[in-house]
Amino acid sequence: MLLRYFYDEKLAHASYLVGCERTGQAVIIDPMRHIAPYVEAAKKKGMKIVGAVESHIHADFVTGTRELAHLGAAVYLSDEGGKRWAYRHLEELDHILLKDGDRFTIGSLIFEVLHTPGHTPESLSFLLTDSGQADEPIGIFTGDFVLFGGIGRPDILEKSGGVTAEEGAKALYRSIKRFKQLEDYLQVWPAHGAGSSCGKSGGDVPASTVGYEKRFNWALQYDEEAAFIQALLAEQPEVPAYFALMKSINQNGPKLIGNLPHPELITNTANIESLAETDHQIIDTRDAKSFSEGHLQGTVNIPFNESFPHWIGWIMDYDIPLYLLADPFEMDDIMITLRSIGIDELAGYLDVQKVLEETSELDAYMNVTPEQAKGIMDTEDVILLDVRGQNEYGEGHIEGAVNIMVGILKEQLQELPDKKLIVHCQAGKRSAIAVSILKANGFHNLVNLEGGYEKWQEDIE
């Protein structure tokens, strides 16, 4: 048996190539949309990818199942959860629908299907047995069900899918009871690591076991359903705005990347300033410090780093034309990331350095230390704007701060009075994004608190 682990740090998404070395056949578990790494890995091992397996209809990224099907792979999809959670693009695919207790084989590999609802109604887990070596399973692929030290969230569908968080939590409790009956030695392979919005308290490690999770995973320590539900639903962070769209794309079938147009490099920068003043979205992908020192007025700064897909998915409107100001040498990687969250097309992109050089007047904003911010607070009438999540704010905040989470800031601008703003988050990254949103919407009397609440606590409190 061959097992290869793939991890997308921008999505905190884990996927797996599982192959039978005897027959040279392999399947991909919960594939990302960018399938080239799987194809290359299989080729190096002399294997053919014959299957793509999904644990559930994902809500945080567009899957690569259809891409693999286009290359000839059969797809293995859940048939649990009822019609509301059925896949709707099956006529295009060589597909096998799976229910609890089903089995399918890839060479000498046997996959046993377990229905483990709660995160979503259709969620499946897969026990894997290498029959060429043993007659008992070696491990279990848990999707977004059991994570390393955590559990999948049951509240994601509450707004978009008509399933209450409490219903999902009750289903999770039943699924956990079933999981706890498994043998301790089984390895656990989930679809997400630390930082994913799909789970609560997932760890950032590549391997675990059922026995370890039974002993140390907080979600597996409850013997009473009511106590479990209360703990699970308490202090869940905000659900990203784009999750409902990802769910719809994956349920109805994403477009094939090969059929999508290549983004256009716009070399004439003459009209870009007027575009920023109209109903267009222009994202500057540089780091926050560079953006603060000089940028095109009306643009929003979302740095191309590990959190890029999370915040661009939260903030941008998928129905409004999108332009990027970026380093052209990064565009291939940027497009892979954008398409991983369903942003398939751009209105165009421009070389950000060329734009800066040819723009007559650049905008900027000031970053201040906690000491400088305290001085402003002592001498001016200001609003402290805390753009962290509600849970973070509840755990501790600067006295008098107003809390509007950065992901919903654009919809809450009318809540802000006409006063100077001191914008902050936990460490300074999210507040930089928030400042760019505010400036793009006409708020110029503001500063960004460097180091955020953490630095404030160190220097002031």
What is the 3 state secondary structure string of the chain?
CEEEEEEECCCCEEEEEEEECCCCEEEEECCECCCHHHHHHHHHCCCEEEEEECCCCCCCCCECHHHHHHCCCEEEEECCCCHHHCCCCHHHCCEEEECCCCEEEECCEEEEEEECCCCCCCCEEEEEEECCCCCCCCEEEEECCEECCEEECCCCHHHHCCCCHHHHHHHHHHHHHHHCCCCCCCEEEECECCCCCCEECCCCCCCEEHHHHHHHCHHHCCCCHHHHHHHHHCCCCCCCCCHHHHHHHHHHCCCCHHHCCCCCECCCCCCHHHHHCCCCEEEECCCHHHHHHCECCCCEECCCCCCHHHHHHHHCCCCCCEEEEECHHHHHHHHHHHHHCCCCCCCEEEEHHHHHHHCCCCECCEEECHHHHHHHHHHCCEEEEECCCHHHHHHCCCCCCEECCHHHHHHHHHHCCCCEEEEECCCCHHHHHHHHHHHHCCCCCEEEECCHHHHHHHHCC
Query: What pLDDT does 198 receive?
Result: 59
Alpha carbon distance 59, 102 (integer Å): 25
Q: How far apart are CA 156 and CA 172, in angstroms?
A: 13
Domains of the chain, each with CATH number or no CATH:
2-249 (3.60.15.10), 260-358 (3.40.250.10), 366-459 (3.40.250.10)
Predicted confidence (pLDDT) at residue 124 exceeds the cutoff of 90: yes
What pLDDT sits at residue 216?
Answer: 95
115 burial class (0-12, 13-18, 19+ CB within 10 angstroms)?
A: buried
Q: For 179-192, what is the mean pLDDT? A: 97
Instruction: Please give the Cα distance from 136 to 130 (Å, whole number).
Output: 8
For residue 366, pLDDT beyond 70: yes
Residue 144 and residue 152 in contact, taking contact as beta carbons nearer than 8 Å? yes
Tell me the per-residue pLDDT of 330-341, one tens digit each, with 9 for 90 and over: 999 999 999 999
- Average pLDDT of span 397-413: 95
Residues ≥6 apart with Cβ < 8 Å to 305: 287
What is the predicted pLDDT for the residue at 104?
98
Above 90 in pLDDT, residue 95?
yes
Q: What percent of the chain has pLDDT over 90?
A: 87
Q: What is the pLDDT of residue 237?
A: 86
Give the span between the Cα atoms of 342 and 185, in whole angstroms. 38
Task: Using DSSP bridges, classify how beta strands 25-29 and 146-147 pair: parallel, antiparallel or unpaired.
Answer: unpaired
pLDDT in tens, 236-273: 888 898 999 999 999 999 999 999 999 999 998 887 87
pLDDT per position as a tens digit, 145-178: 999 999 999 988 886 667 789 999 999 999 999 9
> What Rg value do the Cα atoms of the chain yield, rounded?
24
Max CA distance (Å), the chain: 76
End-to-end Cα spacing for the chain: 56
What pLDDT, on a 0 to 100 scale, did the predictor assign at position 339?
98
Residue 380 structure tokens: 């001016």
Residue 199 pLDDT greater than 60, yes or no: no
| The predicted structure's pLDDT at residue 194 | 66
- Mean predicted confidence (pLDDT) in 339-358: 95
- pLDDT number for residue 236: 86
State residue 274's pLDDT score: 76
Mean of pLDDT values over 21-30: 98
CA 116 to chain centroid, in Å, comes to 21
Q: State the average pLDDT for the chain.
A: 94
> What is the rounded distance in angstroms from the CA atom of residue 58 to the CA atom of residue 29?
12
Can you give the pLDDT at residue 367?
Answer: 97
On the question of pLDDT at 379 being above 70, the answer is yes
What percent of the chain clears pLDDT 70, i.e. is strictly above it? Answer: 96
> What pLDDT is recorded for position 202?
58
CA-CA-CA-CA dihedral for 25, 31, 34, 35, to nearest 10: 0
Average pLDDT score over residue span 396-408: 96
